Amino acid sequence: MNPPPQNPGAGSHGRPRSASPNARPQRNRPGRFYGGRGRSAHPPRQRRTRVEHQAPSGRPRPAGATPPPIGPETVRVIPLGGVEEIGRNMTAVEIGNDIFILDAGFQFREEETPGIDYILPNTGYLEERRDKIRGLLISHGHLDHIGGIPYVIDRIGNPTIYTRRLTGMMIKKRQEEFAQTTPVQIREVEKDEHIKLGDHTVRFFGVTHTVPDSMGIIIETAWGDVVFTGDIKLNHDNGQPSEEEVREFGVFKSRNVLLLLMDSTNVWQPGFSIPEKNVYTTLENIIKDATGRLIIAMFASHLERLIRVIAFAEKYGKKIVIDGRSMRTNIEIARELGLVKYKDDTVVPVESMGEYPPERMVILATGAQGDEFASLARIGNKSHKHIRLQPTDTVVLSSSVIPGNERAVQKLKDNLSRQGAHIITYHASDVHASGHGNREEAVWIHKQVKPKFFVPVHGYHYMLRVHSHLAMELGVPKNHVVVPDNGSIIEIVKGEKISTLPMKAPSELRVVEGHTVSELSDVLMRDRKALGQEGFCVVVATVDRRTGRLHKSPDIISRGFVYLRDNKELMDQTRLIIRKSVEGSMRNPRAVDLDAARDDLAESVSRFLLQRTMKRPIVIPVIVSV
């Protein structure tokens, strides 16, 4: 995943926030506090995870919003995730009585979703039609394409997974981390292979990406092929595609392609992407010339690059330390499959690193995105148990910065620099190349495939829109191109006309929080942001149930809201507001509505604090009768 910068989300402040722990449903107001603690970035899993599913919210769909059954002679395509963001890629292709699912990834949380671990595609449409699902077809082993499997596989009826061997091993290994999930059924396939699923034939072809065994998928229909590229770039030499690329895409010379679904991530970038071989050359030279210890940080899923780094280190007589659980796991899988070969003493434990001269050490580390629990961040903040930076160390950040991680990466670089390390980034040297092709690579692929209809996938809306214009420039008629949203129901009828239905498949965000999968609540997110930005106050009023008057001075507890703690006058005035609100609500103690009294107390305190401080802390009212 190497996305360009995204547009920041807009936000606004509404009315003063208030909260009541025992609020009545009919009085629910935006910004109410419902409990639950926000969490910082989640640590690596230490044990097997149990997945619990919460029932959907039960909110009725708008009238006429239920998707109708698919009609005859129709190909229906529904992007369920990955077309309004980078991540959680999943697309359903429905033809007659068969549904094929393309990928099942997750998306890492964003600033707009505090406390969330992952964001999933919404599988509601598939859950209602699970008897029609003929298979889950996985293009490659990156988490934005396989990460959602443990969370959604049971919901959609545990269909057989069809993928290549490495990807299958990565799925199995990840599944072992989850307790009480149904064992997955994986059927290994190879490029150039074809299989019969339901009433249709599915074929596979090899594509270039940053992980081995990446593949594209072809679903044959009576009106032509539906072609899905997955994540893709070209292996090229100065803009000339390699013989292998020409051979793989030569299959389309004799095929009739009805619809192309293609990666759009970097189509907005002009020219060709940097070939991965350029990165290999740069990294080899850095490893060869290093006069001190070398730390190379990258995504654990950049397996091709990891394999090359290990080979270069061994070639120049250096030892490797692999510091990062996911990275170790992926390299172990690659070694088991024969994708990487090295002597047993080439890779050494981190505890044994001190036995070798610094110039003979290469450390492969996770955490190039500034992840606070990853290896490199712990090295940077001096909390790593075994690794302390030296002024002679060189740190290579072999990845671009994912949007939203800029501050974390800057902090990481600052921490490393303070310890004297020399840092090399992709801005200064070819130490990273995207796994997604640029504009001219997309042009070449379109010319090979020659689709009748086109739907761009994988990327933010801007990226999809740029890709759609490119397809039209290459000869696809404007009325043969659809730019989708998540949940869009796109239909091609009799192979002649493409359209989008007025209703959508369920597309509300589904999220993973700890062990629980549930639909995202706007109110919950709003309250979490308020807690992080404004803090909260708990006001406790103890009331004499006989007289309705306060039994003692109200208690005020605040966290993340400094104004009360530091200002005695404001504290005293707030207590007066509490007394006035509570005693006004309880003039008749025998007929008091405690829920209404709590709401009024929260509103009164919130309004007062906003007027005096221009801040909107969440107010949690507690009224105790004695």
Q: Per residue in 584-595, pLDDT tens?
A: 888 776 777 888
**pLDDT value at position 19?**
41
The amino acid at 64: G
In a domain, 229, yes or no: yes
Mean pLDDT over 510-533 rounds to 71
More confident residue, 38 or 571: 571
- 94 and 50 part of one domain: yes
Q: Measure the CA–CA gap between 516 and 344, rounded to whole angstroms.
A: 41
Q: Per residue in 242-267, pLDDT tens?
A: 999 999 999 999 999 999 999 999 99
Q: Per residue in 17-61, pLDDT tens?
A: 444 333 333 333 333 322 232 333 333 344 455 555 554 444 434
More confident residue, 223 or 581: 223
Mean pLDDT over 161-170 rounds to 96
With cut-offs at 50, 70 and 90, classify the pLDDT of residue 565.
Answer: low
**pLDDT value at position 6?**
42
Q: Measure the CA–CA gap between 163 and 140, rounded to whole angstroms.
A: 8
**pLDDT value at position 550?**
87
Give φ, ψ of 513 to 5 degrees: -125, 105
For residue 352, the SS3 value is: helix
CB-based contacts of 30-36 (< 8 A; 24+ apart in sequence): 30/523, 30/526, 31/523, 31/526, 31/527, 31/530, 31/618, 32/523, 32/527, 33/527, 33/536, 33/618, 33/620, 34/523, 34/524, 34/527, 36/115, 36/524
Q: Per residue in 593-625, pLDDT tens?
A: 888 888 889 999 989 888 888 888 888 899 888
Q: Pick the range with the lowest mean pLDDT from 22-26, 294-298, 334-338, 487-491.
A: 22-26
Check: CB of residue 593 under 8 Å from CB of residue 603: no
More confident residue, 521 or 246: 246
Check: CB of residue 105 under 8 Å from CB of residue 146: yes
More confident residue, 571 or 411: 411
> Could you give the number of structural domains in the chain?
3
In a domain, 22, yes or no: no
Annotated catalytic residue 263: yes
Mean pLDDT over 412-426 rounds to 94
**pLDDT value at position 50?**
56
CATH of the domain at 597: 3.10.20.580
Mean pLDDT over 478-488 rounds to 97
- 177 and 289 part of one domain: no
Mean pLDDT over 331-350 rounds to 92
- 358 and 387 part of one domain: yes
| Domain end point (choices 393, 424, 455) | 424
Annotated catalytic residue 192: no
Structure-block tokens of residue 128: 């209602």
- 336 and 317 part of one domain: yes
Q: Per residue in 127-160, pLDDT tens?
A: 999 999 999 999 999 999 999 999 999 999 999 9
Q: Residue 578 pLDDT more than 70?
A: yes
In a domain, 244, yes or no: yes
- 307 and 410 part of one domain: yes
| Domain end point (choices 397, 424, 451) | 424
- 205 and 236 part of one domain: yes
For residue 479, the SS3 value is: helix
In a domain, 429, yes or no: no
Q: CA distances (Å), 71 to each of 67, 94, 95, 500, in order?
A: 11, 10, 9, 14
Strands 555-559 and 536-543: antiparallel
Q: pTM for this structure? A: 0.79
In a domain, 11, yes or no: no
- 116 and 247 part of one domain: yes
In a domain, 227, yes or no: yes
For residue 229, give the nearest of 516, 456, 504, 488 by alpha carbon: 456
Q: Measure the CA–CA gap between 328 and 300, rounded to whole angstroms.
A: 8
Q: How many CA atoms lie within 13 A of 191 on its CB side?
A: 19
| Domain end point (choices 464, 490, 513) | 513
CATH of the domain at 489: 3.60.15.10
**pLDDT value at position 4?**
44
- 492 and 573 part of one domain: no
For residue 90, give the nearest of 144, 49, 38 by alpha carbon: 144
More confident residue, 31 or 363: 363
Q: CA distances (Å), 478 to each of 190, 483, 495, in order?
A: 35, 11, 16
- 538 and 476 part of one domain: no
Q: List the catalytic residue out of 98, 103, 263, 371.
A: 263
- 194 and 51 part of one domain: yes
In a domain, 77, yes or no: yes
- 450 and 576 part of one domain: no
CATH of the domain at 304: 3.40.50.10710
Q: List the catalytic residue out of 432, 436, 446, 480.
A: 436
- Residue 267 belongs to domain spanning: 43-271+435-513
- 282 and 368 part of one domain: yes
**pLDDT value at position 96?**
94
**pLDDT value at position 455?**
98
Question: CA triplet 99, 162, 209: central angle to 5 degrees?
Answer: 110
**pLDDT value at position 46?**
40
**pLDDT value at position 525?**
64
Q: Residue 281 pLDDT more than 90?
A: yes
In a domain, 36, yes or no: no
